Structure 1
């Protein structure tokens, strides 16, 4: 062995804990994604085979199911790529992957929030069709969705800024309220309207 070659040893304790954390994160992501695939394909199968003529509601549900499955697939793929691209950082001479890691991190931020919007859109759509001629109900639902879009994109913009500045802070509980509170209010309002109609 030449004197310039440094011997490589096992990973440090912190490196091992990071790799274990990544493995657990990927495992949980794919476990939940597998359940999502089973449910989505069951819904797609039932919607396409139960009747010869699909209603507009069934077509909307079919496209929203496909859209949410595609978003989930993209999220799992990007999250896995984000983890795998960081593995070379444990090398003795790690490559410069900051720009790639930042781009993937920003894509994950937006794809994750697309799923939140899709869930809220489905809840609002279900309430919308139950109140076909009620202008007040439709205005309330539109205002709720505007609030959800605003909360999602404000939080996504702040997350993008943090990723570009390489700040590891994802925001505390109060900072996350700008995203979660409008989504929660939209879900509560639309679910309450559906429950009222069912009652």
Structure 2
């Protein structure tokens, strides 16, 4: 009887194993979702062509970096859990190698956050072509995020290497500072996109007031704003978690899924940008062929604006059909071509068609 009792696994080990399995399963779900979205985005970017598009090359590099970082984090978390399982039966287990891997994970995680912020800021940046104030604010946000990520990585590595830097790290850089700065960057970028979405809607409401449906560009901007605020709420949860206001179990789960969840929104931006069309016929898809249409502003006392616009079909056409491009405070008519058909939203007081993908 005593032999069978000795053979039973202690309850503490059972709980630890259950937590390890649950955490890795939760992380695997988010990592798998991130892989699916990122691979889809990379495939679309490559299909659209990289040779003559610097923005697409940037997005491809950023998406690949985030996927690589997430893969390394997932592998390191598995290795760390395996090491902890081994230590359950061997208290003298050497964790030195795992500590080095944890230091590498710190770097990968910060690089992933930086790449994500660059993508979010890029989406807002291209909507404000020629508007210096907006771009200066976005530049300051990126510089602040980069500086904080670098400093935080340095002190986190020192802490992992047990160099007696705990007190110094806490006093110089409180844990909540980094996520707070990243949250501010994302809130500002999302608000800028929301402003552009409102401006875009007001413009089309004034000139296309009879149209009930939203254009695809409007739908993309609205989706970016909505998902952006969801992403900001994720950082708020991160601040609460880092501040130690959650239970140990909840904190452990958030700790493993947060890096992958934080990469989903930047990847979604790439997908939306890559799939976005600039032709205004997306508003009338399936209802209007390629007939010319006349639009005029109907505001009382306003100068009547009348433009003849040909709405092209969805199929790529090399003919010189005319399209309508929202450019801040003006509307310009530009000649479309095969290359233009996959471009994103153009914006700027002096720009015609502007490639943003």
Provide the TM-score with structure 2 as the length reference.
Answer: 0.48
Partner of 2:13: 15
2:121–2:138 contact (8 Å) kept in structure 1:
yes
Partner of 2:227: none
2:62–2:116 contact (8 Å) kept in structure 1:
no
Partner of 1:119: 116
- RMSD across aligned C-alpha pairs, in angstroms? 2.7
Q: Which structure: larger Rg?
A: 2
Structure 2 residue 128 is matched with structure 1 residue 131: yes
How far did 1:54 drift? 5.8
Check 1:13–1:54 CA distance in 2 against 1; reply closer, same or farther (3 A cut): farther
1:88–1:94 contact (8 Å) kept in structure 2:
no
Deviates most, 44-53 or 122-131:
44-53
1:37–1:69 contact (8 Å) kept in structure 2:
yes
2:83–2:95 contact (8 Å) kept in structure 1:
no
Q: Structure 1: 5+ residue runs without aligned partners? A: 1-7
* Alignment partners' CA distance in 2, 1:157 and 1:59: 29
Partner of 2:24: 26
Structure 2 residue 178 is matched with structure 1 residue 179: yes
Deviates most, 189-198 or 52-61:
52-61
Partner of 1:196: 195
* Alignment partners' CA distance in 2, 1:92 and 1:150: 41
Structure 2 residue 54 is matched with structure 1 residue 56: yes
* Alignment partners' CA distance in 2, 1:182 and 1:141: 13
Structure 2 residue 72 is matched with structure 1 residue 66: no
Provide the TM-score with structure 1 as the length reference.
Answer: 0.81
1:154–1:178 contact (8 Å) kept in structure 2:
no
* Alignment partners' CA distance in 1, 2:174 and 2:10: 34
How far did 1:165 drift? 2.2
Structure with the larger strand share: 2
How far did 1:51 drift? 6.0
2:50–2:57 contact (8 Å) kept in structure 1:
no
Structure with the larger helix share: 1
Q: Structure 2: 5+ residue runs without aligned partners? A: 1-5, 199-357
* Alignment partners' CA distance in 2, 1:179 and 1:68: 18
Count of aligned pairs: 188
* Alignment partners' CA distance in 1, 2:26 and 2:10: 24
